[in-house]
């Protein structure tokens, strides 16, 4: 095994030195001008104390058999052999499928797992479950739950908004004004699904400024834009009101491009009646918006005029749609951009996800990616992904989704590989109750996350560093070899090998493996992919020896340029073939929380509402700068940001002072759903009455047997509301929540999040 090897994570490529079965150090990939600080989480990650060393079964499940229980998360575990694990789990899958049907297996298994096309955990688990008769699946993502449903109805696509976004070079050369709702957080551009080998955003913004470009940022956090910008910090959650006010100025000052609206859009007239208040008596004027958002009418009016005076790109971060009524922000921003009439012109129009993910602004590769075929799922039952607790708590009950009336299935077995619901889901006390309901919970993970601790059957997975794989990302020109860096730790196995053993136990080994080892699969998916290409790439052996292959990209793209150039030849995949400012279909669904055109809905969690009397601080639960989600929270980069051992909460000094709190204090953050401890950082770049606590600290209940226990480590999802964006999309709404903060005066309990649970020998 070579002591120094190149590989890749979702947050960047690197060369690692390997010592004593672990990553000893990493050096960023030479081609990466702006590597992620999260690379520093990798050294020591293979043999970290939070690794799962052995197959394990929860004591209560082993003694009493499957069934609903409140003991999940509180019981001890019993170490079992791999043979025992395979027969216990295989028999349980057979029992559930036989007695209740495959619909009773929830295999959505949402989560990012690791980069690597073959060992991608979700692909593996889906392929396996398809081989045994299928599973209830999930749709869309926590990232883009609202966008994924609304934008196909508005512009006929959501993927292409990111994959074929207006590229940085085009912005640098053409844009005068970037108006960014949710800022342009460079910390988030560290990451790309599937891996990323370059981080051009910071450099692009510098070049943009050098050319005279200006940035306007609407955000509760000043550092959502690094460097000079016009920073507006409105009341969080009022962006749609602000966009309406800007639109109102365009409409009433003859600044709207009516020719663009007539040619490329449908339904502007209906929307304009609402905008002008013709039916409800409330014009959505700057004065109206000012009373909601806390900015002045003059500021909004001046900005609207400025936007109409040059080449303007309106961008919306993904966070704006991860909140109740999250459909409205991207829809309204698209409408505002349409009124400016610059959609499809270089550097103008609409953008979604600059500063959310690295891919926005990057050139797409000119081919699909190699992939592990997942087979066909014979079960058609699904849920919108963020409805997982609703599903488990309400079997047999109907719910609305995107014009459909669906029914929650009766789930008996929950199967998770490659995700961490205790990271991603809202209202963790409610999730814990939901996880009491099924007969059996199965988790594959390399680490003892809170989800693994809540499982009945725990399967130790390898990390990407312990197996051979290849990368691939739709907006990254390099496909990289990801050679095994070291031996599998303790008894960890590749998910592929676990599923192969289970498939053998269940009599479908040939169907699952098609007779291939994982190394043979790697070659196979590369060669199958190669055969589909209309350009030359090296053979698999050449690729593996070289360590990478560079793929051709589509350069110089402007979003929707084709449509603008020829709207008949490039009809959008919407009912009208145009941008739907008014959607007759959505209107026809009759939902009271998402109507026929974008509009202002009063948020549920915001400083302007009644709830703020009890919980007067607006908590922004954004993405962590020093890690990806909950991954490698025990690593050096993540640990270096902790305060008093807890996740840092940033507060405005005034708000801290009012509470007798100072930097370095441990505070209790709470509302009526739950509470957590966090360590205080003071920052006047945080808007007053806003606090920021990123996601990703591993959930750590003070008393694991108490379903309502406080988290002593600082996971904001003990506080967030588990409610969908609307009846249309039912997307995740974890971005915002109202809280109160108080100094924690007792001795703070020790953080045990990264300790394994009690593990008894068989």
Ligand X SMILES: Nc1nc2c(c(=O)[nH]1)N[C@H]1C(S)=C(S)[C@@H](COP(=O)(O)OP(=O)(O)OC[C@H]3O[C@@H](n4cnc5c(=O)[nH]c(N)nc54)[C@H](O)[C@@H]3O)O[C@H]1N2
Residue 41 contact partner, candidates ligand X, Mo ion, none, CB within 5 to 8 A by sort of partner: none
Return d(Cα 286, Cα 248) in angstroms, integer. Answer: 7
Please report whether residue 188 would count as binding Mo ion according to CB under 5 A: no
C-beta separation of 24 from 18 below 8 A: yes
Query: In this chain, which stretch among 130-138, 169-177, 236-244, 503-511 interacts with ligand X, using CB under 6 A?
Result: 236-244
Say whether 467 counts as a known binding-site residue. yes
Say whether 420 counts as a known binding-site residue. yes
Task: Output 326 or 341, the one with its CB closest to ligand X.
Answer: 326
Please report whether residue 498 would count as binding ligand X according to CB under 6 A: no
Name the catalytic one among 112, 408, 416, 526.
112
Structure tokens at 140: 């869309």
**Other C-beta atoms lying within 10 Å of the C-beta of residue 491:** 15
Number of residues this chain uses to bind Mo ion (CB under 5 A):
1
SS3 361: coil
Which residues lie below 8 Å from residue 645, measured CB to CB, with a gap of 6+?
679, 748, 750, 751
Number of residues this chain uses to bind ligand X (CB under 6 A):
62
C-beta separation of 168 from 186 below 8 A: no
Query: In this chain, which stretch among 251-259, 413-421, 512-520, 552-560 interacts with ligand X, using CB under 6 A?
Result: 413-421
Concerning whether 112 is annotated as a catalytic residue, the answer is yes
Residue 381 contact partner, candidates ligand X, Mo ion, none, CB within 5 to 8 A by sort of partner: none
What Cα–Cα distance (Å) separates residue 653 from each residue in 529, 585, 614, 684? 55, 48, 21, 6
Q: Which of residues 415-434 bind ligand X (CB under 6 A)?
A: 417-420, 423-424
**Other C-beta atoms lying within 10 Å of the C-beta of residue 610:** 6
Binding mask 456-495 for ligand X (x = CB under 6 A): -----x-x-------------------------------x
The C-alpha R_g of the chain, in whole angstroms, comes to 25
Please report whether residue 622 would count as binding ligand X according to CB under 6 A: yes
- Binding ligand X by CB under 6 A: which of 341, 716, 724, 757? 716
Comparing CA positions, the residue from 360, 420, 351 lying closest to residue 630 is 420
Please report whether residue 321 would count as binding Mo ion according to CB under 5 A: no
Using DSSP bridges, classify how beta strands 404-407 and 398-401 pair: parallel, antiparallel or unpaired: antiparallel
Binding mask 353-372 for ligand X (x = CB under 6 A): ---xx---------------
In eight-state DSSP terms, residue 24 is E
- Binding ligand X by CB under 6 A: which of 48, 58, 117, 119? 119
Using DSSP bridges, classify how beta strands 457-460 and 56-58 pair: parallel, antiparallel or unpaired: antiparallel
In terms of Cβ atoms closer than 10 Å to its own Cβ (0-12, 13-18, 19+), residue 331 is buried
Task: Output 143 or 462, the one with its CB closest to Mo ion.
Answer: 143
- Binding ligand X by CB under 6 A: which of 80, 190, 332, 667? 190
Please report whether residue 631 would count as binding ligand X according to CB under 6 A: yes
Binding mask 721-740 for ligand X (x = CB under 6 A): -----------x-xx-----
In eight-state DSSP terms, residue 186 is G
- Compute the least distance from the CB of residue 307 to ligand X, in Å: 16
Q: Which of residues 122-181 bind ligand X (CB under 6 A)?
A: 142-143, 181
C-beta separation of 73 from 450 below 8 A: yes
Say whether 402 counts as a known binding-site residue. no
Binding mask 125-144 for Mo ion (x = CB under 5 A): ------------------x-
| Rounded to 5°, angle at Cα 233 from 231 and 236 | 145
Residue 704 contact partner, candidates Mo ion, ligand X, none, CB within 5 to 8 A by sort of partner: none
- Compute the least distance from the CB of residue 317 to ligand X, in Å: 3
Structure tokens at 158: 């959501």
Structure tokens at 563: 């449509």
Residue 114 contact partner, candidates Mo ion, ligand X, none, CB within 5 to 8 A by sort of partner: ligand X
Task: Output 174 or 726, the one with its CB closest to ligand X.
Answer: 726
Task: Output 263 or 296, the one with its CB closest to ligand X.
Answer: 296
Concerning whether 110 is annotated as a catalytic residue, the answer is yes
Return d(Cα 421, Cα 382) in angstroms, integer. Answer: 17
C-beta separation of 527 from 370 below 8 A: no
Say whether 424 counts as a known binding-site residue. yes
C-beta separation of 203 from 33 below 8 A: yes
- Binding ligand X by CB under 6 A: which of 130, 301, 319, 548? 319
- Binding ligand X by CB under 6 A: which of 55, 108, 194, 220? 220
Q: Which of residues 553-592 bind ligand X (CB under 6 A)?
A: none
Place of tokens 């971060």: 317
Task: Output 121 or 161, the one with its CB closest to ligand X.
Answer: 121
In terms of Cβ atoms closer than 10 Å to its own Cβ (0-12, 13-18, 19+), residue 516 is middle
Please report whether residue 445 would count as binding ligand X according to CB under 6 A: yes
Binding mask 679-698 for ligand X (x = CB under 6 A): ----------------x---
Please report whether residue 420 would count as binding Mo ion according to CB under 5 A: no
Phi-psi region of 590 (alpha: psi -120 to 50; beta: other; left: phi over 0): left
Return d(Cα 671, Cα 613) in angstroms, integer. Answer: 12
Please report whether residue 713 would count as binding ligand X according to CB under 6 A: no
Q: What is the 3-state secondary structure (H, E, C) of 296-351?
A: CHHHHHHHHHHHHHCCEEEEECHHHHCCCCCCHHHHHHHHHHHHHCCCCCCCCEEE
Per the annotation, where are the binding residues?
112, 322, 420, 424, 467, 495, 717
Give the footprint of ligand X on this chain (CB under 6 A).
111-114, 119, 121, 142-143, 181-183, 185, 187-188, 190-191, 218-221, 224, 236-237, 239, 317-320, 322, 356-357, 417-420, 423-424, 444-447, 449, 461, 463, 495, 620-625, 628-631, 695, 716-717, 720, 732, 734-735
Active-site amino acid positions:
110, 112
Q: Give residues in contact with Mo ion (CB under 5 A).
A: 143
């Amino acid at each position: 095994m070579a002591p120094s090897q190149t590989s890749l994570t979702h947050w960047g490529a690197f060369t690692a030195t390997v010592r004593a079965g672990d990553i000893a150090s990493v050096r960023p990939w030479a081609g990466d001008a702006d590597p992620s600080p999260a690379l520093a989480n990798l050294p020591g990650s293979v043999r970290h104390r939070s690794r799962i060393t052995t197959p394990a079964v929860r004591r209560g499940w082993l003694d009493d058999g499957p069934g609903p229980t409140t003991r999940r998360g509180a019981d001890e575990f019993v170490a079992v052999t791999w043979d025992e694990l395979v027969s216990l789990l295989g028999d349980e899958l057979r029992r559930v499928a036989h007695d209740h049907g495959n619909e009773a297996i929830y295999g959505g298994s949402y989560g990012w797992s690791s980069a690597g096309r073959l060992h991608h955990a979700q692909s593996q688990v889906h392929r396996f479950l398809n081989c045994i008769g299928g599973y209830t699946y999930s749709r869309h993502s926590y990232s883009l739950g609202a966008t994924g449903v609304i934008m196909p109805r508005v512009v006929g696509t959501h993927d292409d908004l990111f994959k074929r976004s207006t590229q940085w070079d085009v912005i640098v050369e053409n844009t005068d004004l970037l108006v960014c709702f949710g800022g342009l957080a460079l910390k988030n551009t560290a990451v790309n699904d599937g891996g990323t080998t370059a981080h051009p955003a910071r450099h692009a913004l510098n070049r943009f400024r050098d050319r005279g470009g200006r940035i306007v940022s609407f955000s509760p956090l000043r550092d959502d834009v690094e460097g000079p910008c016009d920073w507006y910090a409105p009341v969080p959650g009022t962006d749609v009101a602000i966009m309406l006010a800007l639109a109102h100025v365009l409409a009433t000052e003859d600044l709207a491009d009516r020719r663009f609206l007539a040619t490329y859009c449908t339904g502007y007239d209906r929307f304009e009646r609402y905008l002008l208040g013709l039916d409800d008596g409330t014009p959505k004027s700057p004065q109206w918006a000012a009373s909601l958002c806390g900015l002045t009418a003059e500021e909004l009016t001046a900005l609207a005029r400025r936007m109409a005076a040059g080449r303007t790109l309106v961008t919306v971060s993904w966070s704006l749609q991860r909140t109740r009524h999250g459909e409205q922000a991207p829809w309204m921003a698209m409408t505002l951009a349409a009124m400016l009439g610059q959609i499809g012109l270089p550097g103008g129009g609409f953008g979604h996800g600059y500063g959310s993910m690295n891919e926005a602004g990057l050139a797409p590769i000119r081919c699909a990616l190699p992939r592990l075929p997942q087979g066909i799922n014979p079960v058609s039952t699904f849920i919108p992904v963020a409805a997982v607790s609703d599903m488990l708590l309400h079997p047999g009950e109907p719910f609305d989704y995107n014009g459909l009336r669906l029914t929650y299935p009766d789930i008996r077995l929950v199967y998770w590989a490659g995700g961490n619901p205790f990271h991603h889901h809202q209202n963790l006390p409610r999730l814990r109750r939901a996880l009491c309901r099924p007969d059996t919970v199965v988790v594959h993970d390399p680490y003892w996350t809170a989800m693994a601790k809540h499982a009945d059957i725990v399967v130790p997975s390898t990390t990407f560093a312990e197996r051979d794989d290849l990368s691939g990302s739709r907006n990254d020109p390099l496909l990289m070899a990801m050679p095994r860096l070291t031996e599998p730790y303790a008894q960890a196995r590749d998910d592929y090998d676990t599923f192969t053993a289970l498939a053998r136990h269940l009599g479908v080994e040939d169907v699952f493996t098609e007779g291939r080892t994982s190394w043979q699969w790697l070659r196979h998916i590369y060669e199958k992919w190669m055969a589909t290409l209309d350009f030359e790439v090296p053979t698999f052996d050449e690729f593996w020896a070289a360590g990478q292959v560079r793929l051709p990209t589509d350069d110089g793209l402007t979003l929707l340029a084709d449509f603008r150039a020829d709207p008949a030849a490039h009809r959008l995949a919407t009912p009208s073939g145009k941008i739907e400012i008014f959607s007759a279909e959505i209107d026809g669904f009759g939902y009271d929380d998402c109507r026929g055109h974008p509009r202002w809905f009063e948020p549920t969690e915001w400083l302007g509402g009644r709830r703020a009397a009890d919980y007067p601080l607006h908590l922004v639960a954004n993405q962590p700068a020093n890690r990806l989600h909950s991954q490698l929270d025990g690593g050096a980069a993540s640990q270096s940001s902790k305060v008093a051992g807890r996740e840092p909460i940033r507060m405005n000094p005034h708000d801290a002072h009012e509470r007798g709190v100072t930097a370095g204090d441990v505070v209790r953050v709470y509302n009526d759903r739950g509470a957590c401890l966090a360590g205080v950082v003071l920052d006047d770049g945080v808007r007053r009455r806003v606090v920021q606590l990123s996601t990703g600290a591993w959930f750590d209940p003070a008393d694991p047997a108490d379903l309502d226990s406080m988290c002593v480590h600082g996971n904001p999802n003990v506080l967030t509301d588990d409610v969908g964006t609307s009846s249309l999309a039912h997307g995740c709404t974890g971005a915002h929540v109202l809280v109160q903060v108080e100094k924690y005066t007792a001795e703070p309990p020790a953080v045990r999040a990264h300790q394994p649970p009690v593990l008894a020998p068989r």
